[in-house]
């Protein structure tokens, strides 16, 4: 397989984008990525999107978006693995370049979530859970993650304040990200005392409903050095793992085995260990998710992830900065776009372009994007060249 680099990234401010349609927001981000890369064409593209059929009544997204971007008749494919769809699109683009099939490939992600009412969005998202065994009985994602939180608190003594510290830390980072949906700080008291969604998770433990897109341009590393005006970033490894999407089928509610597996494969393929990672963008769809993920990726011992944000170890400047972008919590979570946005933050950090939220001196960054309650997980490790 050929070595692969990221040479361009593009993303606009996320939020409730009432005046734009799905195809508009994707095209704007894709054009920014193409411009950032400085290329005059692309050979192939992949789009991560979870459920545009339910959100906006439009499937067949690869072709729609290639047409609006003006790149048809190139191959253009939508991929889906729930909220990890963006990471999966990046992974397929990586394979496309690595295999030698195509040279300049766009990996994008998009979700337009606000064109349905609140119940519609909750239902659309619930299709990432087990329709026959979980959703049928009425549980939705805040409820599922609340069960993970209760299990983790019961087994390891994780506290309500530790959950809050995750939200506080991510909003502190996101306040320095001009593209974030909610770029403001919150306090421990605000998180704990905000409206209850599913005990113990309050509304400030939850990532928001967001419209947004993100795009990146990949090419062979040896071509990147000639093509790109900016410093390319190398893809050091790509991993994808699966697990039962239904919580009742798992041995341990407090452990995300697909995250552990994807992390192991990613470390092995890159020849690295957790100690070599300078910062990580993780899938904090709920505060408890970040706690479980940083354990499964080996940054904290099992059961001790709650100490991460509380102790300051996961802050920018800490031992292992987690979600310098603000994470899903503050930056927003247009589900299909999130995985690509994690790549964008990692590329910008490795380029040293992150201003006030810059992680100093990092040469290697990791992204961790997951679907549902961890039924799928996509991990990438990227490094400076």
Residues 6+ apart with CB under 8 A from 147: 247, 253
Picking from 295, 288, 303, the residue whose alpha carbon sits closest to that of residue 259 is 295
Q: Which residues bind a second copy (CB under 8 A)?
A: 1, 21, 23, 50-51, 53-54, 56-64, 66-67, 72-82, 88, 92, 95-96, 98-101, 123-124, 126-132, 135, 239-246, 249, 257-258, 261, 371-372, 375-376
Cα separation values, 57 from 52, 60, 283, 339, Å: 6, 10, 26, 22
Whether 333 is a known active-site residue: answer yes
Going 336 to 341 to 344 to 349, the CA torsion angle's sign is negative
**Shortest Å distance, C-beta 255 to a second copy:** 13
* Residue 54: CB atoms within 10 Å: 17
Distance of CA 372 to the CA centre of its chain: 12
Residues sharing a CB contact under 8 Å with residue 243, sequence separation 6 or more, in sequence order:
250, 256, 257, 258, 261, 374, 375, 376, 377
| Minimal distance, residue 274 CB to a second copy, in Å | 19
Cα(171)–Cα(165) distance, integer angstroms: 10
Residues whose CB falls within 8 Å of the CB of residue 109, separated by 6 or more in sequence, listed in order: 47, 48, 49, 85, 86, 89, 213, 214, 215, 334, 336, 337, 338, 339, 340, 341
Q: Which of 171, 240, 333, 380 is catalytic?
A: 333
83 classed as catalytic: yes
Looking at 49, 83, 292, 377, which residue is catalytic? 83
DSSP state of 369: E
Q: Output the six-digit token pair for 272.
A: 């690295």
CA 45 to CA 48: how far, in whole Å?
10
Q: Which is nearer to a second copy, 99 or 187 (CB)?
A: 99
What phi and psi values does residue 252 have, to the nearest 5 degrees?
-140, 115
What are the residues facing 106 on neighbouring strands?
45, 217
Q: How far is the CB of 46 from a second copy (least distance, A)?
A: 9
From its phi and psi, is residue 170 left (phi > 0), alpha (psi between -120 and 50) or beta?
alpha
Active site amino acids? 83, 333
């Amino acid at each position: 397989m050929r070595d692969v680099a990221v040479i361009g990234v593009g993303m606009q401010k996320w939020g409730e984008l009432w005046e734009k349609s799905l195809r508009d927001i994707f095209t704007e981000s894709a054009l920014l990525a193409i411009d950032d890369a400085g290329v005059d064409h692309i050979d192939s593209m992949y789009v991560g999107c979870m459920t545009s059929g339910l959100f906006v009544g439009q499937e067949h997204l690869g072709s729609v978006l290639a047409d609006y971007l003006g790149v048809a008749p190139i191959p253009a494919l939508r991929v889906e693995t729930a909220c990890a769809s963006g990471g999966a699109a990046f992974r397929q683009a990586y394979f496309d370049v690595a295999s030698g099939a195509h040279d300049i490939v766009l990996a994008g992600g998009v979700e337009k979530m606000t064109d349905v009412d609140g119940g519609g969005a909750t239902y659309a998202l619930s299709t990432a859970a087990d329709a026959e065994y979980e959703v049928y009985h009425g549980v939705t994602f805040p409820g599922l993650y609340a069960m993970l939180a209760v299990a983790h608190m019961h087994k390891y003594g994780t506290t309500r304040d530790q959950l809050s510290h995750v939200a506080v830390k991510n909003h502190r980072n996101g306040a320095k990200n001009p593209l974030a949906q909610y770029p403001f700080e919150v306090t421990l008291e605000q998180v704990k005392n905000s409206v209850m969604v599913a005990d113990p998770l309050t509304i400030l433990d939850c990532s928001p409903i967001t419209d947004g897109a993100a795009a990146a341009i990949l090419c062979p590393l040896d071509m990147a050095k000639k093509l790109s005006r900016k410093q390319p970033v190398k893809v050091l490894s790509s991993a994808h793992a699966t697990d039962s999407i239904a919580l009742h089928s798992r041995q341990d509610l407090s452990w995300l085995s697909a995250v552990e597996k994807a992390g192991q494969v990613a470390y092995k393929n890159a020849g690295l260990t957790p100690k070599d990672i300078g910062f990580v963008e993780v899938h904090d769809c709920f505060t408890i998710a970040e706690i479980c993920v940083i354990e499964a990726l080996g940054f904290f011992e099992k059961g001790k992830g709650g100490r991460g944000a509380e102790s300051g170890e996961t802050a920018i400047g800490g031992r292992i900065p987690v979600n310098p972008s603000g994470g899903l919590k503050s930056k927003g979570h247009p589900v299909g776009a999130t995985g690509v946005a994690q790549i964008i933050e990692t590329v910008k950090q490795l380029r040293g372009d992150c201003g006030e939220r810059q992680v100093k001196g990092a040469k290697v960054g990791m992204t961790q994007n997951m679907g549902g309650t961890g039924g799928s997980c996509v991990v990438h490790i990227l490094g400076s060249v």
